[in-house]
């Protein structure tokens, strides 16, 4: 069997990078997307190559349907049809609803939710025709429980799982699974940059296991969902949050 091709959106970010490297370690051919405004992409490629990872890295505006099509066309041309799609790209623009403007709402919905349609649409038919595929949508614990100051983000992340459940029903008989994972607080650069006193007093007390999650733990769950052993898992929302929220 040919090596399967995995495409990870936002693959140059803290969590995305770990997902990408761990999937490469597991034997997948990995392509990543990055924002066209990212000025560090060439350096990232060089750094990854020095570590032994020759990723296909493609600029893509995930909010733009045509940009997503061009990205996937390039991946297909350069390394092959996409077998696995990890919709990981996302942003936050946090503020209370009273202070939230339309631009903050639109930016988060377009990047976190519209992107899932834009990317999935261009790989779905190929997966269905080949009779195998894995679509994994990276949501958030806050999409399940809500969060103060995140009406836009929580709405987008909850919407991802509505998408997951409906598409899973349509694709189940063709060997294409669609799942959501909902991480809690993960020890990425963004989270570990939070002042220690805030982490210790406000965040860690919410987490029964008493620590941040590891990016490698998220990647491990994704690798499982990509496996043949996970073929019976579809339409699920798997919480990976250290017990912070139990549904």
Annotate the chain with three-state secondary structure: CCCCEEEECCCCCHHHHHHHHHHHHCCCEEEEEECCCCCCHHHHHHHHHHCCCCCEEEECCCCCHHHHHHHHHHHHHHCCCCCEEEECCCCCCCCCCCCCCHHHHHHHHHHHHHHHHHHHHHHHHHHHHHCCEEEEEECCHHHHHCCCCCHHHHHHHHHHHHHHHHHHHHHHHHCEEEEEEEECCECCHHHHCCCHHHHHHHHHHHCCCCCCECHHHHHHHHHHHHCHHHCCCCCCEEEECCCCCCC
Residue 153 has pLDDT above 70, yes or no: yes
Residue positions annotated with a catalytic role? 153
Percent of the residues in the chain that have a pLDDT greater than 70, as a whole number? 100
Q: What's the pLDDT band for 41 if we cut at 50, 70, 90?
A: very high
Neighbours of 53 (CB within 10 A): 16
Is the overall model pTM greater than 0.85, yes or no?
Answer: yes
Which tens digits make up the pLDDT trace of 90-131? Answer: 999 999 999 999 999 999 999 999 999 999 999 999 999 999
- What is the pLDDT, as a whole number, of residue 191? 84
The bridge status of strand 5-8 relative to strand 237-240 is unpaired
Please state which architecture CATH assigns to domain 5-240: 3-Layer(aba) Sandwich (3.40)
Residue 139 pLDDT > 70: yes
> Given the structure tokens 């958030």, which residue do they identify?
140
CA of 190: how far to CAs of 17, 42, 91, 200, 219, in Å?
13, 21, 12, 16, 17
């Amino acid at each position: 069997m040919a090596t399967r091709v995995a495409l990870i959106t936002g693959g140059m970010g803290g969590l995305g990078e770990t997902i990408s490297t761990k999937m490469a370690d597991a034997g997948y051919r990995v392509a990543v997307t990055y924002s066209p405004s990212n000025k560090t992409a060439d350096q990232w490629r060089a750094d990854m190559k020095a570590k032994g990872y020759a990723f296909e890295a493609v600029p893509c505006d995930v909010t733009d349907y045509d940009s997503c099509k061009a990205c996937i066309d390039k991946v297909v041309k350069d390394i092959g049809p996409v077998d696995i799609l990890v919709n990981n790209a996302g942003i936050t623009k946090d503020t209370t609803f009273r202070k939230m403007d339309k631009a903050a709402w639109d930016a988060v919905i377009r990047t976190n939710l519209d992107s899932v349609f834009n990317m999935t649409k261009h790989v779905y038919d190929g997966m269905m025709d080949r009779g195998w595929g894995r679509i994994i949508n990276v949501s958030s614990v806050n999409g399940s429980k809500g969060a103060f100051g995140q009406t836009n983000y929580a709405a987008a992340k909850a919407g991802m799982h509505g998408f997951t459940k409906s598409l899973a029903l349509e694709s189940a008989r063709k060997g294409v699974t669609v799942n959501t994972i909902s991480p809690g607080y993960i020890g990425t650069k963004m989270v570990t940059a939070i002042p220690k006193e805030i982490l210790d007093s406000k965040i860690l007390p919410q987490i029964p296991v008493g620590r941040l999650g590891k990016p490698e733990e998220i990647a491990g769950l994704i690798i499982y969902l990509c496996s043949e052993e996970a073929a019976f898992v579809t339409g699920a929302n798997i919480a990976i949050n250290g017990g912070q929220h139990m549904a």
